Amino acid sequence: MYLVIYDISDDPLRTKVAAFLKSKGLTRIQYSAFVGKLTSSQLRDVVAGVKLLTRGRDSERLNVQVFPITESQYEQRTVIGKTYGEEDVVVT
């Protein structure tokens, strides 16, 4: 399982990255965070795709981090506040 978190100050670029992550089957758990299961080749696709989308783009803040996590870590996480829309739908 992977957790993708990003900080992209350029609105159109951020929207593109979010749409791309969603198209790769990841589930949005926060405004700038997605989770989902990825095979190693799917992971390579996601990383390559984000690099392509963001290369040469001059967004003041542009940082994307992809963490390997386990399902139990995902389930053990603590959530405070309002649940994001799609949070409980985990892509299998």
Binding site for its own copies (CB under 8 A): 3, 5-8, 29-33, 47, 50-51, 54, 61-69, 73-74, 76-84
Q: What is the CA radius of gyration of the chain?
A: 13
Task: Compare residues 12 and 68 and give the one whose CB is closer to its own copies.
Answer: 68
Question: How near is the Cβ of 9 to its own copies at its closest, in Å?
Answer: 8
Task: Compare residues 25 and 32 and give the one whose CB is closer to its own copies.
Answer: 32
Q: Report which of 4, 48, 41, 45 is spatially closest to residue 26, judged by C-alpha positions.
A: 4
Task: Compare residues 7 and 23 and give the one whose CB is closer to its own copies.
Answer: 7
Question: How near is the Cβ of 25 to its own copies at its closest, in Å?
Answer: 18
| CA distance readout (Å), 57 to 5, 61, 71 | 18, 10, 33
Question: How near is the Cβ of 92 to its own copies at its closest, in Å?
Answer: 19
Q: Report which of 20, 41, 26, 32 is spatially closest to residue 63, judged by C-alpha positions.
A: 32
Structure tokens at 75: 């389930």
Positions at the binding site for Mg(2+): 7
